[in-house]
Amino acid sequence: MQEAEELPAQLGTALPSVERLFDHLADAVYLIDPDTSCIVWGNRKAWESLGLSRDDVLDHSVLSLQKDVHGMPQWAQIADAIRGSDCFRFIGRHRHQQGHEVEVEVNTTRFTLDGREYFLSVARDITRRVAQEADAQWREKQLWFALNEAGDGLWDWEVSTGALFFSPQLKRMLGYGPDEMAPVLETWSHNVHPEDVQRVMAALQAHMQGKCFRYEAEYRIRNRDGHYLWVHDRGRVCDHDADGQPRRVVGMVQDISARKTLELQLQELATSDMLTGLANRRQGTDFLKAQVELCQRLGLPLGLAFIDIDNFKAINDLRGHLVGDKVIQRVGQVVKDGVRGSDLVCRWGGEEFIVIAPNTGIEPMGLVAEKLRLAVMRELASHVPPVTISVGVASAAGLSMDIPSLLEGADAALYKAKQGGRNRVALADQR
């Protein structure tokens, strides 16, 4: 009490009146008669916020100013609610003199003075806040719409409880309904492809341990019908507990099956012949280099056979290129079926094939070539014009073995077979 009495003296002047203090408030203040709902007093903001004068405000009641209170019965219910609470909060709209609405949040308390009851209402203009909230809600809806249309799935993992939220988009991606997929980590981890799961879990743990800026992985995950999708999964820890441990991790999953399939096809095309599915010249060259090094190191012979389809131009001229392509495909398949699994058959170019046979000398390679020649004649016996092959065989062993010599020897032997009348096998001269 002594401190309160000394305050005016400390300020050096008398305190301003209560009415003047209220006139400097940023919020509108109304003193209301509970029985009639009439406004009996208001501060400056009370009438300025509505485009009125002081006298105009005092001629109004709550019913004429507040658009969301209709009639005395509703006011009576609101008055009872005010009397039953320490502070009654109401969100409504005030009518402005110029015809527009003012969004307000009204907090009302009750008090008694000289035996008479009053309501004191403080109304705050929340028009800008409501507009900002509406804009934020609209933007959130737009964001969720964009995410939904993009088809990416979202996940939200609460590490401490193990709860894992799967978005409807993610469930749909995997073929499930919105009320399916148990919200636990195992629902996800048990469906990751067995060959990928260890790598994926290691990537997730590395991020959670702070070793990586974010978690990111490409892997296969099983959908509802048992097939596997390729997905690109990425996420980050977004919340930590008091000890600095990850508490929440969120991420996004994108279906990349189409892209991954194309990648695998391109990889296969890089080493496979598009027409026959056999190894192409690039893969054949790589295999030949590797086998030369291996056979040199182990002291083993390496056999090589050049195969050419006889008179192939005549087949194209008489039957057309589509038939010619089918002939190449059939010959390639016959040759592949006639050699060992450890041997490589590749399409060297055009109508030419090459067979690389590790640990095979020239005589055994000649026998293999003859078997292939007879097999082609048998499998394509009904073809018009006839389909036959000529084969040149070479072999080398020891440290003196080199790729150019092998290829030159087989090519020279093939030329010899063609010069000898075609549809035959010729062996390279031994050095």
**Residue 182: pLDDT over 60:** yes
**Cβ atoms < 10 Å from Cβ of 406:** 20
Q: Round to whole Å and give the CA distance between 346 and 153.
A: 43
> In this structure, which long-range contacts are made by residues 368-375, counting pairs with CB atoms below 8 Å and at least 24 apart in sequence?
368/303, 368/305, 368/338, 368/339, 369/305, 369/307, 369/393, 369/425, 370/425, 371/338, 372/305, 372/307, 372/334, 372/335, 372/338, 372/339, 373/423, 373/424, 373/425, 375/334, 375/335, 375/337, 375/338
Tokens of 362: 């020239």
pLDDT in tens, 1-14: 445 455 455 555 56
Q: Are 236 and 250 in contact (CB under 8 A)?
A: yes
Q: Confidence band (pLDDT; 50, 70, 90) for 144?
A: low
Q: Round to whole Å and give the CA distance between 120 and 103.
A: 19
pLDDT value, residue 140? 67
Q: Round to whole Å and give the CA distance between 377 and 375.
A: 5
Residue for token digits 């001629």? 59
Q: Round to whole Å and give the CA distance between 354 and 368.
A: 13
pLDDT value, residue 56? 81
Q: Are 260 and 230 in contact (CB under 8 A)?
A: yes
Which residues are known to be catalytic? 351
pLDDT in tens, 206-221: 999 999 889 999 999 9
The conformational region for residue 71 under phi > 0 = left, psi -120 to 50 = alpha, else beta, is left
pLDDT in tens, 84-111: 999 998 887 888 888 788 888 889 999 9
Q: Are 164 and 191 in contact (CB under 8 A)?
A: no
**Residue 63: pLDDT over 90:** no
* Mean pLDDT, range 369-373, rounded to an integer: 96
pTM: 0.44
pLDDT value, residue 6? 56
DSSP code string of 59-106: T-BHHHHBTT--HHHHHHHHHHHHHTSSSEEEEEEEEPTTS-EEEEEE
Burial class of residue 254 in the structure, from the number of CB atoms within 10 Å of its CB (0-12 exposed, 13-18 middle, 19+ buried)? middle
Enumerate the β-bridge partners of residue 272.
279
Strand order in the sheet with 352-358: 344-349, 352-358, 302-309, 389-396, 425-427
Q: Are 246 and 159 in contact (CB under 8 A)?
A: yes
pLDDT value, residue 378? 94
**Residue 384: pLDDT over 60:** yes
pLDDT value, residue 1? 44
**Residue 16: pLDDT over 80:** no
Q: Round to whole Å and give the CA distance between 407 and 415.
A: 12
**Residue 147: pLDDT over 60:** no
Give the contacts of 261 (CB within 8 A, at least 6 positions apart). 230
Q: Confidence band (pLDDT; 50, 70, 90) for 333?
A: very high
Tokens of 407: 């290829």
DSSP 1: -
**Residue 259: pLDDT over 50:** yes
